[in-house]
Structure 1
Amino acid sequence: MRGADLIAQKLHQAGSQYAFGIPGGEVLALMDALNLAGLKFNLVKHENAGGFMAEGAWHGLARQGTDAPVVLLATLGPGVTNAVNVVANAFQDRVPMIFLTGCVDAAEAETYTHQVMDHQQLLRPIVKASFKASAGALNAMMDKAISIAMSGQPGPVHIDVPISVAESESTETQKAPNYGVRAAQLPFGDVLEQARDLLGSAQRPIAIAGVDAVNVDAGNEIEAFCEAYQIPLITSYKGKGLIPENHKLSLGGAGLSPKADKSLMPLLADADLVVLIGYDPIEMRVNWRNPWSEDTSVIELTPVLRSHGMHHVSHTLEGDIKPTLLSLTPEDETGVVPEESDWLRDRIAPAKDKLKADFAAEESGWGPATVFHGLREALPDTTVATADSGAHRILVSQIWESLYPRTMLQSSALCTMACALPLGIGHKMAKPEDPVVVFVGDAGLEMGLGDLAVLRDMQVPFIVCVLVDESLSLIELKQRANQNPNLGVDFSATNFPALAEAYGGHGVWVDDAESLKQEAKAALERDTFTVLACRIDRRAYDGKL
């Protein structure tokens, strides 16, 4: 058994099923070993896209009950540097990714410099840990790497594998993991009793849930908790669907929309109790700093001690989110919404109505909001949506109604472009029965066109909705707001339907709501991807965000 085989077998032992990457000579043994161990290796067109496909697959598997790290494989030098962006995304967006890289042996590196650099020094600021594989210590190293990637807030762990370690016979045999079975951690003592008292006496409670609640699949527990105490819930964009967004207690997603904040911020300011459930403000824009006063009672349920300094907390319940929620939820009231309170009737219901009106479809009959509403109506409830960074992401995140967790995927912390298409591809690989629609701007799609070739080879129905406005609209809006001249944001149109055909898919221009719905339904019946190129005005997002 080679060292590469032991590394791959440890990943399979941990439940990993997928690996993504581009091979180079230094990682051929690793790629072969991953395949032999039972991980499906997927060739991608860029390492950045491979990392997002890995994240999409992780979400798809998690929705089926499998919580295990995903694998990104890159060769030395440019392979590693190409992946820096997506590794940073995994770090900020809390994705358990094992990043395997190849490297030359230390003795070789002393006199051979082609493509050689210190991968560990490059990556340490954006990974939870970085290891250099050593013969004789692979079991211990892999146990550490997997445990670190999955524990607390999950994240990427880097493993640099010298060629000789990967290709040589290992002196070790595979061992059982040394980290054992982990018991749930529950807060206890006076702070827990004080939290229960605050929940029982609050007249104007509100809750915010985020990525840490998503990552432990706490949706059912959150719904029962909110119903027991009549607590309305705001989620981060990545937390959409933690409770169904058609639920009377759901205020939908928030984080980047000033228009939505006008309805939500007054509720936070007036609440007498704020409950934070796996809420990490790394997903939120700057005005979510200190949205309530230091006099407000704030209970935080968190898997890790927070050090961000973004807001005041009065009671920290550090531990596992799901059992902590269960310990706070009265068993006899779980699943029952008591008689409506003044808070729900007089403040929450009007806020929900205002949000609905603010993000309604355009009265003109066409525009980005009409596109998002139209596709939500046309596609099944089980559809998984992904959104690229840009103006469209803010609007679709406010409009798209998610009924289940992990069904609106995006880069919500790093907020990088060219993520939506590979996120959707990865999810489709792991959970092919679910329809997928990708929302992307024209610049974002052009940034990652190679991913269409991966889609072509999958031969599955898949919808890419590209908003064609020939502009970096969000940046252009900021330019005008700052009274800067128009510079570096506008460009000419690309014929996306022709590109779709060239890549082996189907493409069509869309200019009206009825055609959009018809084309979306037809797309679900094809055995290839469909690009819906929706032409909108260059300033179509003005006043909508």
Structure 2
Amino acid sequence: MARTVARVIVDALSELGVSQVFGVVGDALNPLTDAIRTTDDIAWVGCRHEEAAAFAAGAQSQLTGRLGVCMGTVGPGSIHLLNGLYDAAKSRTPVLAIAGQVPLTELGSDYFQEVDNDALFDDVAVFRATITSPDQLPLLLETAVRNALGRKGVAVLTVPGDIGDRELGADRPARFSLSSPTTRPEEDAVRRAAELLDRADRVTMLVGKGSRAAREDVLALADRLAAPMVLTLKAKEGLEGDNPFQVGQTGLIGNPAAASALEDADVLLMLGTDFPYRDWYPDGLTVIQVDTEPAHIGRRVPVDVALVGDVGAAVRDLLARLPAGRSGTDKERDRGHLEKSRERFAAWREGQARLAAPGHDKGLVGKVRSVFDNRDHDIRPEALAAAVDRAAADDAIFTSDTGMATVWLSRFVEMRGARRLLGSFNLGSMANAMPQAIGAQILDRDRQVVAFCGDGGLSMLLGDLITLKTNELPVKLVVFDNRRLGMVKLEQEQAGLPEFGTTLENPDFAAVATAMGITGIRVTDPKELDDAVRTAFATPGPVLLDVLTNPEEVAVPAKPTVEQGWGFAVAKMKELVRSRGDDS
């Protein structure tokens, strides 16, 4: 019996190991969702917003390396996918989006809800096509999937409303023939890099996501070079825990030890990173960069030696050429640069730990500080992040909204053990943490999933709390409820501007969750924080922990400038004057 277009697509997804498809049902998708309904090993996960569906599919793809799948129906349904798809595209993770379309006979007639999908997805997709005949399958589907997986991006397949239930004339199973080759850098480039590293007095490594699969080799190279290791945010996972060389992050979320490790080096070795913030690269260094993508080489900082290839292969080649001592002798490399960087990092962490202590505001320094930055005695966000770190499992999956929630996670949550980390770290979207947690949790209902939610981000896609409840997903949502768009507030004040437009009039998020059938816990007293966090993690099913945090808390960047400090002081004076004017 001949199969329909919808059946061919769904059977192929099953063969690829896709276990969930996320989306919102409707018209052109009906043949596809009905095919999913009658397929045992694929579940339809109905979301309240297509953006959440795309984020969930992207999260699954990032966690597994396999294809994530989402669907949006005609016109606005497909448009709503865009933000989550852009996040997948900039995260370089394979996602297939199946978009509905008006009937073929109506294309180009400005039909109800008609949108030109091929134009709409032009920028976000590595491949996009509209099925205009059943006989284009399975070849068109195979091409879409190969592009998504091979090019690590988004493929969009558009299915008009009168195509999904049509039968194929000549039916055959889809064949994907996928492989992931390992590339090695050129031997001459490895030789030149090894010579530079051997002669260097102080090497610092900037290590990114592309190094995670080569952890042991990367640690061995850091030991051989006596090099401190600055981690990008995406490298925390897999490379932070039990690492005697790492000194945390640089950039706005970073710390002074990492900044000094970069500034004090004479050679910078970049491994599997495209860290985008040019202002945070030091000047005057010799730079060696290892990346699988030739286009990534040198686009952030001038590079002296480029090693185009897999990080693991490149690092093993370097280790084979680097002597244990210096220049072929038995003399050990001086470890002063590493030890100094680690000492600075330890001192910084000790200071951060004092901030996160529950009784911080009771001490002399805390009482003085709270007069200026915590007059309402709200809970410090550092304390909340640290409490979650203590309570969470060593194999927990963390998701984090963009903004201050990510700052506190980066500084106070250690990616030890088998912990995983997801966020919108390239696109920088709001509202990603909760839908990414949905995608992660539905992959493994027995694994702990924790979402660090900003109040602004959570409220953007608040309706998909119902998706958590409907699917009984035991996600723990930790809401940093500072009644602010906190990162924007900080940006304004550092520029010398008074805070404007960032204040949020929030509901009681715990009460909202309770109304939706989810356990809600609200915390307003610092003394109750630890117990509330432990209770949230011990409670079966989904839990929303709404913690009122201090909106005036400042995350000092790794290299605070005089201009930033002056701008902040000016902003605070303007805010004070405006506040007094409001009271009069």
TM-score (norm 1): 0.89
Distance 1:402 1:2, change over 3 A: same
Instruction: Verify: 1:92 aligned to 2:82, yes or no.
Output: no
> Displacement, 1:70?
0.4
> Displacement, 1:359?
6.4
Select the structure of larger CA radius of gyration: 2
Q: Is contact 2:190-2:314 (8 Å) kept?
A: no
Q: Secondary structure at the match of 2:465?
A: helix
Q: Is contact 2:58-2:85 (8 Å) kept?
A: no
Q: Which residue of structure 2 lines up, in the alignment, with residue 230 of structure 1?
A: 226
Distance 1:209 1:511, change over 3 A: same
Q: State the one-letter code of the partner of 2:274.
A: D
Of 261, 268, 274, 1:280 maps to 274
Of 337, 361, 365, 1:364 maps to 361
Q: Which residue of structure 2 lines up, in the alignment, with residue 416 of structure 1?
A: 429
Q: Secondary structure at the match of 1:531?
A: strand
> Displacement, 1:47?
0.6
Deviates more, 1:98-107 or 1:196-205: 196-205
Measure, in 2, the Cα distance between the counterparts of 1:389 and 1:101: 27
Q: Is contact 1:73-1:99 (8 Å) kept?
A: yes
Q: Which residue of structure 2 lines up, in the alignment, with residue 166 of structure 1?
A: 164
Q: Is contact 2:252-2:557 (8 Å) kept?
A: no
Q: Which residue of structure 2 lines up, in the alignment, with residue 439 of structure 1?
A: 452
Of 62, 66, 78, 1:68 maps to 66
TM-score (norm 2): 0.83
Of 52, 56, 71, 2:55 maps to 52
Q: Which residue of structure 2 lines up, in the alignment, with residue 125 of structure 1?
A: 123
Q: Which residue of structure 2 lines up, in the alignment, with residue 256 of structure 1?
A: 252
Q: State the one-letter code of the partner of 1:275.
A: L
Measure, in 2, the Cα distance between the counterparts of 1:75 and 1:49: 14
Distance 1:493 1:23, change over 3 A: closer
Instruction: Verify: 1:143 aligned to 2:129, yes or no.
Output: no
Q: State the one-letter code of the partner of 1:8.
A: V
Distance 1:176 1:221, change over 3 A: farther
Q: Which residue of structure 2 lines up, in the alignment, with residue 210 of structure 1?
A: 208
Q: Is contact 1:219-1:405 (8 Å) kept?
A: no
Measure, in 2, the Cα distance between the counterparts of 1:533 and 1:502: 14
Distance 1:308 1:231, change over 3 A: closer
Distance 1:392 1:88, change over 3 A: same
Distance 1:316 1:144, change over 3 A: farther
> Displacement, 1:421?
0.8
Measure, in 1, the Cα distance between the counterparts of 2:470 and 2:438: 11
Of 478, 482, 490, 1:469 maps to 482
> Displacement, 1:386?
1.5
> Displacement, 1:447?
1.2
Deviates more, 1:270-279 or 1:401-410: 401-410
Post-superposition Cα deviations, 1:197-222, rounded to whole Å, max 9, x if no partner, equal 334444322222223445xx344443
Q: Secondary structure at the match of 1:467?
A: strand
Distance 1:255 1:428, change over 3 A: farther
Measure, in 1, the Cα distance between the counterparts of 2:334 and 2:239: 18
Q: Is contact 2:422-2:436 (8 Å) kept?
A: yes
Post-superposition Cα deviations, 1:293-346, rounded to whole Å, max 9, x if no partner, equal 355131323344326722112222222333333333349999xxx887112112
Instruction: Verify: 1:321 aligned to 2:318, yes or no.
Output: no
Q: Is contact 1:234-1:253 (8 Å) kept?
A: yes
> Displacement, 1:104?
2.3
Distance 1:339 1:537, change over 3 A: same
Instruction: Verify: 1:296 aligned to 2:298, yes or no.
Output: no
Of 15, 20, 23, 1:21 maps to 23
Q: State the one-letter code of the partner of 1:530.
A: V
Q: Which residue of structure 1 lines up, in the alignment, with residue 578 of structure 2?
A: none
Q: Is contact 2:291-2:297 (8 Å) kept?
A: no
Q: Is contact 1:222-1:325 (8 Å) kept?
A: yes
Deviates more, 1:84-93 or 1:452-461: 452-461
Of 84, 99, 112, 1:101 maps to 99
Measure, in 2, the Cα distance between the counterparts of 1:178 and 1:429: 26
Post-superposition Cα deviations, 1:264-310, rounded to whole Å, max 9, x if no partner, equal 233223323222222122xx44523xx13355131323344326722
Distance 1:311 1:460, change over 3 A: same
> Displacement, 1:249?
0.9
> Displacement, 1:2?
0.8
Deviates more, 1:36-45 or 1:300-309: 300-309
Q: Secondary structure at the match of 2:190?
A: helix
Deviates more, 1:512-521 or 1:443-452: 512-521
Deviates more, 1:134-143 or 1:78-87: 134-143
Q: Is contact 1:361-1:373 (8 Å) kept?
A: no
Q: Is contact 1:131-1:159 (8 Å) kept?
A: yes
Q: Secondary structure at the match of 2:243?
A: coil
Q: Is contact 2:96-2:148 (8 Å) kept?
A: yes
Structure 1 unaligned regions, length at least 5? none
> Displacement, 1:446?
1.3
Of 194, 197, 204, 2:195 maps to 197
Of 18, 31, 34, 2:33 maps to 31
> Displacement, 1:101?
0.4
Q: Is contact 1:371-1:513 (8 Å) kept?
A: no
Q: Which residue of structure 1 lines up, in the alignment, with residue 265 of structure 2?
A: 271
Deviates more, 1:298-307 or 1:138-147: 298-307
Q: Which residue of structure 1 lines up, in the alignment, with residue 572 of structure 2?
A: none
> Displacement, 1:468?
1.6
> Displacement, 1:453?
0.9
Q: Is contact 1:57-1:428 (8 Å) kept?
A: no
Instruction: Verify: 1:42 aligned to 2:32, yes or no.
Output: no
Q: State the one-letter code of the partner of 1:83.
A: L
Post-superposition Cα deviations, 1:131-157, rounded to whole Å, max 9, x if no partner, equal 2224323232222222221225x1211
Q: Is contact 1:460-1:526 (8 Å) kept?
A: no
Q: Which residue of structure 1 lines up, in the alignment, with residue 299 of structure 2?
A: 309
> Displacement, 1:125?
0.9
Measure, in 2, the Cα distance between the counterparts of 1:448 and 1:110: 33
- Over the residues paired in the alignment, what is the CA RMSD in angstroms? 2.7
Q: Is contact 2:126-2:148 (8 Å) kept?
A: yes
Instruction: Verify: 1:499 aligned to 2:533, yes or no.
Output: no
Measure, in 2, the Cα distance between the counterparts of 1:136 and 1:88: 30
Q: Which residue of structure 2 lines up, in the alignment, with residue 5 of structure 1?
A: 7
Distance 1:360 1:447, change over 3 A: farther
Distance 1:346 1:469, change over 3 A: closer
> Displacement, 1:460?
4.3
Structure 2 unaligned regions, length at least 5? 325-331, 363-378, 559-584
Distance 1:139 1:275, change over 3 A: farther
Measure, in 2, the Cα distance between the counterparts of 1:520 and 1:369: 14
Q: Is contact 1:263-1:354 (8 Å) kept?
A: yes
> Displacement, 1:466?
0.9
Measure, in 2, the Cα distance between the counterparts of 1:202 and 1:498: 59
> Displacement, 1:27?
0.8
Deviates more, 1:483-492 or 1:119-128: 483-492
